[in-house]
Structure 1
């Protein structure tokens, strides 16, 4: 199974409900050092409702409920033994995990290890196990290569050498994607095909959408299908927008709510240089870049207006981050339609745009790059 990366953003975990007569999720997992599992879950069409539960194990066995009245994505992994950050949050960690869809009203049983596990609970999971089995030859090769490359990294071997060793994995990933794509085409009336489809590349998704039957699209898997469809269409719109976001072109107008709930219009700053900073409290590089941003803001105050556009946060997390980091510039939140990040072709965070006094795009910088500050300095001379 795949290695997954999860960032645990706080230590306030909820405890799964007990006791249980017929648990929704149960099983036995081996190879876990602690006696506690961390379970992350969210409805497939509402990632903002993500929750993390702690579940105790006895001799490797566990049983718990999440309330499976809606289709949910679930990840199970062993609770890590790590020291919290100074603010009490748990640092981001990489680990193997059990990953599955929890179907409404249908219990599931898990057995095996975090490296390789089996899902039981009906034909849906039987079908998914079949797909996983077909991919094993290549997934095992990738896992083995991951171990080799991680060992090389620990020994301080240069990244270029590691990338050369890892090169064969690209073909193996391609083989896995082909197996999954073929499965969807050959099984257009199976619910599990929607879940398999969610693991395909964007290029493959375009064809797969036209393969599935209406029964599958509109049935139990409808929330996941709809989320994928909307995401796919947004990516197409994002690509189209990127073509228009070139220096000299007019920056798209938008209206977003500020911290006080009032409308902010980009056009209200016409006649001034403007920096649009697309960021999020969840983005490590965005947070790391704040001190330099604040220095630049103070240096060019009155000459350039800064506008922080928060993306993919809840309102509470956005406001908390603005207050915690004492961001002195205009702060707005990207929510609703149209999606301003899509309008501006933003696919990585942070992304900064410099807009000239005529409202035209002057510069785009993706990532926390010194080039941005060098550009501002040259611009203000």
Structure 2
């Protein structure tokens, strides 16, 4: 089987569905064409609807004469292990050359070949996937050939009328169509759930083709994650049409630092800056000094409502205390998901709500334009 080019939801899918019993899972094999005697292995549980942000783990595995054995902790399988050759000296890691392996509880998998052309065997899942791969292998090879064709070529040196992007998109559509067709013909298979993650803009159709058996199978948690992502995407599209400067700011109620409900509407009558942030967001933290400066400058004319996103309660409270943030704070726990309600797609995002409850200004990123706006507003 040629190298899988699966990206699993644009790189988010290092995989998971929780299993109650812990079983040892091994991956072993022989790899050729690797100068290093050490492999880097990144593995993580597959995301589920209730556990989207799974934590990955990085291990090193020794190779001897090209042979290796890896044992995975299996308390939250299936997982995906991504294997790289550890570069020697000061060489950079080649992220494009990797081996992706999906492992289920108790699997004893083997992988043989090179990072560009390998075969994974040892489970019913791979027996099915390897056979199915034959269906779309020519289309996959064609797509990879286009990438190679234009690799390293300056766009300015291309003949007039040549459009690599269009070629790649068309080849990608042909490959995706084969994935969808396979799912249509095999709606009960776990492999079809796995393939649905590769269907891009056709994912809604692909998920709709799956049977209840597949939706509730060993990859059922991953199906629920994909379905939840689709629903969020739809909600974001609907919110984008509504969240405009001059539009009514949707009301919401979230819990503050003391666990008490705080409604946006309770702040009506003054300007309110909705600051969508998180302790994990570097630019959010970098902007805190300026936020403090402007809060002190205009706190009699405006209020800041920090809306923490994607943090645990502990990390949120710790960040507020560490950075000594003096304004109001609430945590977006997801019910409702205020980040979707306000179509937030980047952090930080600052939305200024006027005293009448209308959106006056939207600024995405840590942008001086936000502070210039406040100076102009309150001059």
TM-score relative to the length of structure 2: 0.77
Q: 1:380 to 1:37 in 2, by over 3 A?
A: same
Instruction: Provide the rounded CA distance (Å) in 2 between the counterparts of 1:331 and 1:93.
Output: 42
- 1:315-354 map, 5 Å: 315-354=313-352
Range 299-308 or range 353-362, more displaced: 299-308
> Contact 1:71–1:223 at 8 Å: present in 2 too?
no
- 1:229-308 map, 5 Å: 229-308=227-306
Q: 1:359 to 1:94 in 2, by over 3 A?
A: farther
Q: Could you tell me which residue of structure 2 aligns to residue 55 of structure 1?
A: 60
Instruction: Provide the rounded CA distance (Å) in 1 between the counterparts of 2:111 and 2:99.
Output: 9
Q: Could you tell me which residue of structure 2 aligns to residue 201 of structure 1?
A: 200
> 3-state DSSP class of the match of 1:24?
strand
Q: Could you tell me which residue of structure 1 aligns to residue 129 of structure 2?
A: 128
> Contact 1:38–1:55 at 8 Å: present in 2 too?
yes
Instruction: Provide the rounded CA distance (Å) in 1 between the counterparts of 2:264 and 2:121.
Output: 53
Q: 1:70 to 1:40 in 2, by over 3 A?
A: closer
> Contact 1:353–1:365 at 8 Å: present in 2 too?
yes
Q: Is 2:144 aligned against 1:140? A: yes
Q: CA offset at residue 197 of structure 1?
A: 0.3
TM-align CA RMSD: 3.7
Q: 1:51 to 1:201 in 2, by over 3 A?
A: closer
Instruction: Provide the rounded CA distance (Å) in 1 between the counterparts of 2:184 and 2:312.
Output: 37
Q: 1:302 to 1:134 in 2, by over 3 A?
A: farther
Q: CA offset at residue 294 of structure 1?
A: 3.9
Q: CA offset at residue 116 of structure 1?
A: 4.4
Q: Could you tell me which residue of structure 2 aligns to residue 191 of structure 1?
A: 190
Instruction: Provide the rounded CA distance (Å) in 1 between the counterparts of 2:377 and 2:213.
Output: 58
Structure with higher Rg: it is 2
Q: Could you tell me which residue of structure 1 aligns to residue 19 of structure 2?
A: none
Q: Is 2:105 aligned against 1:104? A: yes
Q: 1:147 to 1:312 in 2, by over 3 A?
A: farther
> Contact 1:3–1:97 at 8 Å: present in 2 too?
no
Question: What are the ranges of 5 or more consecutive residues in structure 2 without an aligned counterpart?
Answer: 13-22, 157-161
Q: Could you tell me which residue of structure 1 aligns to residue 181 of structure 2?
A: 182
> Contact 1:38–1:79 at 8 Å: present in 2 too?
no
Range 268-277 or range 176-185, more displaced: 176-185
Range 217-226 or range 295-304, more displaced: 295-304
> Contact 1:297–1:306 at 8 Å: present in 2 too?
yes
Instruction: Provide the rounded CA distance (Å) in 2 between the counterparts of 1:265 and 1:80.
Output: 53
1:71 paired residue among 46, 68, 78? 78
Q: Could you tell me which residue of structure 2 aligns to residue 373 of structure 1?
A: 371
Q: CA offset at residue 363 of structure 1?
A: 1.9
Q: Is 2:120 aligned against 1:119? A: yes
Instruction: Provide the rounded CA distance (Å) in 2 between the counterparts of 1:347 and 1:118.
Output: 38
> 3-state DSSP class of the match of 1:352?
strand
Instruction: Provide the rounded CA distance (Å) in 2 between the counterparts of 1:242 and 1:82.
Output: 48
Cα deviation code 1:275-331 (max 9, x no counterpart)? 112233444444444444444334333322222222223334434544555444333
Range 135-144 or range 224-233, more displaced: 135-144
Q: 1:270 to 1:76 in 2, by over 3 A?
A: farther
> 3-state DSSP class of the match of 1:133?
helix
Instruction: Provide the rounded CA distance (Å) in 2 between the counterparts of 1:93 and 1:379.
Output: 50
> 3-state DSSP class of the match of 1:210?
helix
Q: 1:336 to 1:38 in 2, by over 3 A?
A: same
Cα deviation code 1:338-363 (max 9, x no counterpart)? 21111112233332211111222112
Instruction: Provide the rounded CA distance (Å) in 1 between the counterparts of 2:124 and 2:100.
Output: 17
> 3-state DSSP class of the match of 2:363?
strand
Range 349-358 or range 29-38, more displaced: 29-38
Question: What are the ranges of 5 or more consecutive residues in structure 1 without an aligned counterpart?
Answer: 8-20, 84-91, 158-162
Instruction: Provide the rounded CA distance (Å) in 2 between the counterparts of 1:283 and 1:350.
Output: 8
Q: Is 2:27 aligned against 1:25? A: yes
TM-score relative to the length of structure 1: 0.77
